[in-house]
Structure 1
Amino acid sequence: MTEFIERLEELDQPFVKVAITDIDGILRGKYMAREKVVEAAKRGFGFCNVVFGWDSNDQVYDNATLSGWHTGYADGLARLDPTTLREIPWEDGTPFCLADFAHDQSGLADACPRTLLKRVVAKAESMGFTPKFGPEFEWFTLRETPDSLVEKGYHRPLPISPSMFGYSILRTTLNAPFFRDLLHQLRAFRIPLEGLHTETGPGVLEAAIRYDDVLSAADRAVLFKTAVKEIAYRHGFLATFMAKWREDLPGCSGHLHQSLWRDGENQFGSAEHPRGMSKLMEHYVAGQLHCLPELMPLLAPTINSYKRYVAGSWAATGMNWGIGNRTTALRVIAADPGSTRLETRLPGADANPYLSIAAALAAGLYGIERELPLTTEAIQGNAYADQDQPSLPRTLAEAVGRMKASELPGQLLGDAFCRHFIATREWEVRQHEVAVTDWELRRYLEII
C-alpha cells in the first residue's frame, strides 16, 4: 500500500478515477480527490449498494434481497486494488484504480463479480494451478454518438465502414487515427493487444488481448470494453459490444483462451498424446462440456445474447468440442505443448468478463476434481451439420430456468451469488415480456 500511495504522489494529479464492476459488467465509478483516495487505500470507502440493485438502465430490481428500498440503499465497503493502478492516456494521465467488495460484510461480497472470480481463483490455487486467460472481443464501431442514436430512435445506425471486408488493410487505413489510438492508447492503459483487425461485417473489429494471470486478464477485459468506447467517443464514433445488433450480420463474441500452469509450465500440452492434449486438459474440457449448459446466463446474459447462436454464424449451436475447429463451442488449440490452450467460444461480447471467466474456470476445475472422462469425440468439419449434439438453451428464459433448477451452479459459484444473479436475469426476462417491440407493431398493428 505504501508503494501505491507513493505512486499517486509521483503522478501529482488532484483527482483519481475509481470504479467497480456491476452485475452486467458495466463499470460504475467516480472521480475522487487524491487525498480521499489515500485514505480509502488504507480503510476502504463507501459505495452505494444500488450498484447491485439496479439493471443496466438504472431501473431498480423489485426481486433482489442484497440491495433494494428495504436496505435504504446504504453504503457497502469497497476496497481499492493497488495492482490495478494505471494512467488514462486520453484523460491527460488521470490515475485510475479498480475496487471490489471482497471485504464487505453486508452481503455485497456475494454479488460482486470481481470478488466471485477471486474465490474461483483461490480454488484453482488450492489445487496447485495458476490459471492464465486471454480474452478476445468482437465489436461494431458506428459513425454515431449517443445523441444521434436517440434522435434516430436507434434505427439504422451507420457503421464506420460499409460492406463485408474481413482482415482488411484498406479499412484500417480509412480510419487510421482511430486505429492508431486503439493500438497505442490501450497499451499505455496497460491493456496490451496481441492483434487487432477488421472482421466480416460493416464496421466490425476484433481484438485479442495478451494473456495474463486470470484476475489481471479479467480486469483487462472489463477495462478494454470501456476504453474502446471512450476512445471511440473521442473520434465521434460509438462502439457497441451488443451480441447481435442486426439479424443479417454475424454477432459479437467474447471468446476465452485459457490454460492452467504449475511451476511455470503449461499443464495442458502433451507431446506424447496424439491429440496434443494432456489428461488434465481432457478432464478440464469434459468439465466445461458438463457444466456450461447449466451456466449459460453467465456467458449469454441478455435477451439479445441468444440471437447470436445461429448456424453458420461463427457461434456454436451445440455443446461440443473440436481440435482447431471454429464451428464448435470448445476449440482445442494444440500445435505446441507450451502454448496448448482451450478457446471457449460460447460467451458473447456482451457477457461480464468476470462472470464468463469464473464460469469457464470453475467448470474446468470441476472436471479435473472429478476426473471426468472426455467421452465424446472431437467434431470433424462442420459442427452445424451434426444434429445429434447436446443442445444449448435457446432463450434467456430457458437458460435461467435451467440454471435455477440445477444444484450445480451453487456448488461451483456459491448459493448466495446464484440467488442474486438469477433474480437479476429473471428481472431482465420480465422487462422483455412486457415490452412492445417494433417487430410487433409492423406485424400486427394494421393487419390484426
Structure 2
Amino acid sequence: MSVRNDRLLTVEQLRSAIDIGEIDTVILAFTDMQGRLQGKLLHAQFFLDSVLEHGTEGCNYLLAVDVEMNTVDGYDISSWDKGYGDMVFELDLGTIRRLPHRPGSVMIQCDLALEEGGPVRVSPRQILRAQAERAAAHGWKALAGTELEFVVYDTSYEDAWASGYRGLKPANQYNVDYSILGSARVEPLLREIRNAMYGAGMTVESAKGECNLGQHEIAFKYDDVITTADNHSVYKTAAKDIAQQFGKSITFMAKPNEREGNSCHIHMSLRGLDDSLVFWEGGERTPVYDHFIAGVLATMREFTLFYAPNINSYKRFVKGSFAPTAVAWGLDNRTCSIRLVGHGQGARLENRLPGGDVNPYLALAAMLAGGLYGIENELPLEPQTLGSAYESGAPTVPTTLREARVAFAQSAIAAEAFGEDVVKHYLHYADIELAAFDAAITDWELRRGFERL
C-alpha cells in the first residue's frame, strides 16, 4: 500500500526503524463515536511478529459507550446479551506516522470490521468512506480542510479536574485575534504542536490568535476527506498530549464559557478523479457547484446532529457571535452558515456550523452526503443572503440537541444516504446524552436555587 506522503513510513521503513531500535511502540488507533482516538499500544517487535500480518481485535463496546465509557443498553452492535464480543482492527498501512512528541512511537489508523467479515457500518470512518465511494461513483473525489479552534489554559488537566473546572487561568488575558504579540505568549506550545504535526505527516499552514481569552487556531492544508479526518483526529489528541507536557490544558469544547466558542469550519470542494475542476468553469461557478451548495443547505437542519453532536454544541449558536444561526449562504459572508470563498482551483464552500467538539468523519460525511443529494436531484440554489444572515428571516438551525435529534430521526434523506442502521445508532447516541443531561444537577441550578428558592 502506498503512503500518503514521504513523511509517513512504508512498512519496510517501519520494519527497519524497529530493527535498529529507533521505534519501540506501535499505536493502533481508530476514532470512536465521540471523535476520540481509541486503540492499543503495542511493543514494536510483537507488532512485527504477530500483528502486522494477522491484525488484532478490540471489544465492540467501544462503539456503544457514552463519554464516561459506561456501557449503555440499546445498541444493536453490542450488549450484555450478545456478550460484548470483538471487532477486528484492519490496519491502514498508508497511515504509518511518526509521533515526534512521543519518542520511539508510531501510529497506524484502522478501519473496523466484523469478526465474520465486512465493515462495521456504524464506525465513523466507514460512514465517511461510504460517502467518498458514492462521490467516486460519479467520477469525483472530495477535498476538505478543517479549521479547529481551541482555548489554552495555564492550568494542567489534573488541576482543572480537581477544581471542578473553575478558576482556570487562560493563556491570554484579552482578545488576541490575529495578534502576533498574543500568539507569542503561547508560541512555545504552538510551535511544538506545529512541528510535531509536521513530523507526523501533516502539512501545517499557520497559527493565529482568536477572540476568546487564550483561544488559538492551527491550520492544516486540505486533502481528500478521509486523510483530512484522520489528520484531524491525530492532531486533536496530540495537541492535548503536548499541552499536558507543558503543564497546560487545551479544550476543544464548542462553548467552554460565555465568551466566543470554538468553531471547526469545514471547507469542501469536488474534483475529478483526474484532479480536473468540478466547481468552476469559464470564470464562474458550475451548475454542479450550485446544486452541491443547495444540497448542503437543504439537509443542514436534518444533518445538524452530525455537525453538532453534543448538548454543549448548541450553546455556541448565538446571534452576532460569528457562529451561524441561519440556514443561508453568501459570498464571503461570515454571518451565513455556508460561506463561498475562492475561485478557480480555490473555489470551495465553508460550512461554519460545526464546533470544535465535532467528530470530523461524521461532519464530513454529512456535508458530502448533502452535497451529493443536491447534485443527484439537481436542486436549485436559492438567492444568496446579502448583509447579516442573523436578520435575514432565513430558517434557523436547531437550537438544542433534542431538536436536532428529531430532525435526524424524521429525515428520509439521512436514512437513504447513511442507512437505517447508522441513523438508529446515532439517534441512540443522542438519546443517551439527553438522558444523562436531564438527570444532572447543574451549577446553574445550585447557584439559583440552593438558598433563594
Q: Same fold (TM over 0.5)?
A: yes
2:13 is matched with which residue: 7, 11, 15? 7
In the alignment, the residues of structure 2 paired with residue 195 and residue 277 of structure 1 have an alpha-carbon distance, to the nearest angstrom, of 28
Q: Residues 39-63 of structure 1, C-alpha deviation per residue, up to 9 Å, x if partnerless?
A: 4332321111121121111122222
Counterpart contact for 2:210–2:217, Cα < 8 Å: yes
Could you say which residue in structure 2 is the equivalent of 1:320? 328
Range 238-247 or range 67-76, more displaced: 67-76
Per the TM alignment, residue 7 of structure 1 is displaced from its structure 2 partner at its CA by 2.3
Q: Residues 222-251 of structure 1, C-alpha deviation per residue, up to 9 Å, x if partnerless?
A: 11111111111111111111000111x111
Could you say which residue in structure 1 is the equivalent of 2:253? 242
Indicate whether 1:21 and 2:27 are aligned.
no
In the alignment, the residues of structure 2 paired with residue 284 and residue 354 of structure 1 have an alpha-carbon distance, to the nearest angstrom, of 19
SS across alignment from 1:84: coil
Could you say which residue in structure 1 is the equivalent of 2:242? 231
Query: Tell me, which stretches of 5 or more residues in structure 1 are unaligned?
Result: none
Could you say which residue in structure 2 is the equivalent of 1:197? 208
Give TM-score, length-normalised by structure 1.
Answer: 0.95
Indicate whether 1:359 and 2:370 are aligned.
no
1:134 is matched with which residue: 145, 156, 172? 145
CA gap 1:10/1:315 in 2 versus in 1, 3 angstroms: same
In the alignment, the residues of structure 1 paired with residue 119 and residue 287 of structure 2 have an alpha-carbon distance, to the nearest angstrom, of 38
Q: Residues 246-280 of structure 1, C-alpha deviation per residue, up to 9 Å, x if partnerless?
A: 11x111111111110012222112344xxx32111
Counterpart contact for 2:157–2:244, Cα < 8 Å: no
Q: How does 1:199-214 map to 2 (within 5 A)?
A: 199-214=210-225
Could you say which residue in structure 2 is the equivalent of 1:253? 263
Could you say which residue in structure 2 is the equivalent of 1:372? 379
Q: Residues 108-141 of structure 1, C-alpha deviation per residue, up to 9 Å, x if partnerless?
A: 7122101111111110100100111111111111
Counterpart contact for 1:41–1:79, Cα < 8 Å: no
Q: For residue 368 of structure 2, what is the amino acid of its counterpart?
A: L
In the alignment, the residues of structure 1 paired with residue 428 and residue 153 of structure 2 have an alpha-carbon distance, to the nearest angstrom, of 33
2:295 is matched with which residue: 272, 277, 287? 287
SS across alignment from 1:111: coil
Indicate whether 1:390 and 2:387 are aligned.
no
Q: For residue 254 of structure 1, what is the amino acid of its counterpart?
A: C
Counterpart contact for 2:278–2:288, Cα < 8 Å: yes
Q: How does 1:79-118 map to 2 (within 5 A)?
A: 79-102=90-113, 104-105=115-116, 109-118=120-129
In the alignment, the residues of structure 2 paired with residue 432 and residue 241 of structure 1 have an alpha-carbon distance, to the nearest angstrom, of 19
Counterpart contact for 2:147–2:220, Cα < 8 Å: yes
In the alignment, the residues of structure 1 paired with residue 377 and residue 54 of structure 2 have an alpha-carbon distance, to the nearest angstrom, of 41
In the alignment, the residues of structure 2 paired with residue 402 and residue 105 of structure 1 have an alpha-carbon distance, to the nearest angstrom, of 34
Per the TM alignment, residue 104 of structure 1 is displaced from its structure 2 partner at its CA by 5.0
Counterpart contact for 2:300–2:397, Cα < 8 Å: no
CA gap 1:267/1:103 in 2 versus in 1, 3 angstroms: farther
Could you say which residue in structure 1 is the equivalent of 2:409? 404
In the alignment, the residues of structure 2 paired with residue 442 and residue 284 of structure 1 have an alpha-carbon distance, to the nearest angstrom, of 47
In the alignment, the residues of structure 1 paired with residue 147 and residue 417 of structure 2 have an alpha-carbon distance, to the nearest angstrom, of 24
Per the TM alignment, residue 16 of structure 1 is displaced from its structure 2 partner at its CA by 0.5
Per the TM alignment, residue 4 of structure 1 is displaced from its structure 2 partner at its CA by 4.3
Per the TM alignment, residue 190 of structure 1 is displaced from its structure 2 partner at its CA by 1.3
Range 76-85 or range 183-192, more displaced: 183-192
Counterpart contact for 2:254–2:316, Cα < 8 Å: yes
Range 278-287 or range 49-58, more displaced: 49-58
1:148 is matched with which residue: 146, 153, 159? 159
In the alignment, the residues of structure 2 paired with residue 264 and residue 150 of structure 1 have an alpha-carbon distance, to the nearest angstrom, of 48
Q: Please state which structure has a larger fraction of its residues in helix.
A: 1
In the alignment, the residues of structure 1 paired with residue 79 and residue 369 of structure 2 have an alpha-carbon distance, to the nearest angstrom, of 29
Q: Residues 255-314 of structure 1, C-alpha deviation per residue, up to 9 Å, x if partnerless?
A: 111110012222112344xxx321110000000011121011110000000000001111
Counterpart contact for 1:141–1:159, Cα < 8 Å: yes
Could you say which residue in structure 2 is the equivalent of 1:413? 418
Q: Residues 70-113 of structure 1, C-alpha deviation per residue, up to 9 Å, x if partnerless?
A: 22221111101001101110111411111121465478712210
Query: Tell me, which stretches of 5 or more residues in structure 2 are unaligned?
Result: 3-8
Counterpart contact for 1:265–1:338, Cα < 8 Å: no
Indicate whether 1:444 and 2:421 are aligned.
no
Could you say which residue in structure 2 is the equivalent of 1:298? 306
CA RMSD of aligned residues (A): 1.6
Identity of aligned residues (%): 34
CA gap 1:123/1:328 in 2 versus in 1, 3 angstroms: same
Q: Residues 16-39 of structure 1, C-alpha deviation per residue, up to 9 Å, x if partnerless?
A: 111111101011122112244334
CA gap 1:415/1:106 in 2 versus in 1, 3 angstroms: farther
In the alignment, the residues of structure 2 paired with residue 418 and residue 225 of structure 1 have an alpha-carbon distance, to the nearest angstrom, of 26
CA gap 1:444/1:210 in 2 versus in 1, 3 angstroms: same
CA gap 1:104/1:366 in 2 versus in 1, 3 angstroms: farther
2:181 is matched with which residue: 165, 170, 185? 170
SS across alignment from 2:299: helix
Range 90-99 or range 105-114, more displaced: 105-114
SS across alignment from 1:69: coil
In the alignment, the residues of structure 1 paired with residue 51 and residue 133 of structure 2 have an alpha-carbon distance, to the nearest angstrom, of 25
Give TM-score, length-normalised by structure 2.
Answer: 0.94
Q: For residue 11 of structure 1, what is the amino acid of its counterpart?
A: A
Counterpart contact for 1:65–1:420, Cα < 8 Å: yes
Q: Residues 179-199 of structure 1, C-alpha deviation per residue, up to 9 Å, x if partnerless?
A: 221221111111222221000
Indicate whether 1:78 and 2:83 are aligned.
no
